[in-house]
Amino acid sequence: MKKKENRNAIATYIVLGIMSLVWLFPIVWLVLQSFRETPAGAFTKHLLPDTYTAENYTKLFTDTTLFNYPRWFRNTLIVAIASCIVSTVIVLLTAYAFSRLRFKARKPMMNVILVLGMFPGFMSMIAIYHILKAFGLVQSLFSLVLVYSGGAAMGYYVAKGFFDTIPRSIDEAALIDGATKNQVFWKISLPLSKPVIIYTVLQSFIAPWVDFIFVSVIMKDNYNNYTIALGLYQMLTRENITKYFTQFCAGAVLIAIPITLLFIFMQKYYVGGVTAGGAKG
């Protein structure tokens, strides 16, 4: 019996080992390519670089005539912080209202959001562009913040799933003691909701770093207001890929590291959120 278990364990480790090699391979390759010296193109003949250099990284910050990496980084950071604040507030308010408050329009509003969510997001992209244009906001970072946080209310599910798990009796006790609903929200519900607040903050903070579609529609050719994702994406177009592939890798490594760390940090909130939100709808 013991022997069989041992053999089982070894087989498991072998399978897991091989799988993790396969899964980590693209990431390791990315890091290796980011240090490759020559040639800079994507279509290398060898798996491992012949010679290593840190030049791809330094060039990102010094050679900014065509690809202004530091500027894009700054843009993304500004947009991410602003839209993260707005989105978090909106998501928490919406989720709280639908979860803890009872009013006539509650069910209809939730149904409307459910239906709206079934339309593909790209469908409204062009219309949003024209609306922003009508307000004279196109190609600005502010419009990007509006785009990322304007639809935030639609993603209330995870936070609502969390609010649903807080016992209602706590609210009721406070209301009987004479607290207003406003006080219940600030003094009772919010302090209990740290996990879901962290989750929402991180989620909305990450979004601008990885989107390259909406930003390309909004910014068009205004290179100065590009975000990291769109900028890096531009490095791999047919004209640029042979010259900038290794720089793309370097730039990608630099933003992948913080995002990966944030994600690993928030994974437990993430799982709780997705399953709780899913089970309770």
Residues 78-97 touching another protein, rule: CB under 8 A, are 89-90, 93-94, 96-97
Among 14, 81, 173, 236, binds another protein (CB under 8 A): 236
Radius of gyration of the chain (CA): 24
* Contact status: 2 vs another protein (CB under 8 A): no
Per CB under 8 A, contacts with another protein among 25-64 are 26-27, 29-30, 33, 42-47
Map the footprint of another protein across residues 171-200, applying CB under 8 A.
180-182, 185
User: What CA–CA distances, in Å, run from 254 to 148, 170, 178, 202, 236?
Assistant: 23, 45, 52, 18, 17
Which of 51-59, 111-119, 162-170, 188-196 is the region at the interface with another protein (rule: CB under 8 A)?
A: 111-119
Using CB atoms within 10 Å of the CB of residue 98, give its burial: 0 to 12 exposed, 13 to 18 middle, 19+ buried.
buried
Binding mask 240-269 for another protein (x = CB under 8 A): -x---x---x--x--xx--xx-xxx--x--
Judged by beta carbon, residue 65 or residue 157, the one nearer another protein is 157
* x-marked contacts with another protein along 133-172 as a string, rule CB under 8 A: -x-----------xx-xxxxxx------------------
Choose, by CB under 8 A, the member of 64, 121, 165, 194 that binds another protein: 121
Q: How far is CA 58 from CA 34, 152, 174, 209, 223, in A?
A: 11, 37, 58, 21, 21
Residues 193-232 that bind another protein (CB under 8 A): 209-210, 212-213, 217, 229, 232
Alpha carbon distance 75, 44 (integer Å):
32
Phi-psi region of 70 (alpha: psi -120 to 50; beta: other; left: phi over 0): alpha
Region of residue 43 (phi > 0: left; psi between -120 and 50: alpha; otherwise: beta): beta
Q: Using the rule CB under 8 A, is 271 a contact of another protein?
A: yes
Q: Which one, of 223, 251, 216, 212, lies nearest residue 66 by Cα?
A: 223
Cα 275 from chain centre: 19
Sign of CA dihedral 52, 261, 84, 206: positive
How many residues interact with another protein (rule CB under 8 A)? 91
Q: Based on CB atoms, which residue is closest to another protein, 33 or 200?
A: 33
- Cα separations in angstroms, 145 against 7, 105, 190, 191, 252: 55, 28, 25, 27, 22
Q: How far is the CB of 58 from another protein (least distance, A)?
A: 20
CB of 216 to another protein, least distance (A): 8
33 vs 225, which CB is nearer to another protein? 33
Closest distance to another protein from the beta carbon of 84 (Å)? 15
Distances (CA, A) of 96 to 17, 106, 141: 44, 11, 29
| Closest distance of CB 274 from another protein, Å | 6
Structure tokens at 60: 């990102």
Question: Which residue number, 102 or 191, has a Cβ lying nearer to another protein?
Answer: 102
- The correct pick among 7, 12, 58, 63 for binding another protein (CB under 8 A) is 12
Is residue 36 helix, strand or coil?
Answer: strand
DSSP helix/strand/coil, 94? helix
Contacting range for another protein; rule: CB under 8 A; set: 21-29, 53-61, 62-70, 77-85: 21-29
9 binds another protein (CB under 8 A): yes
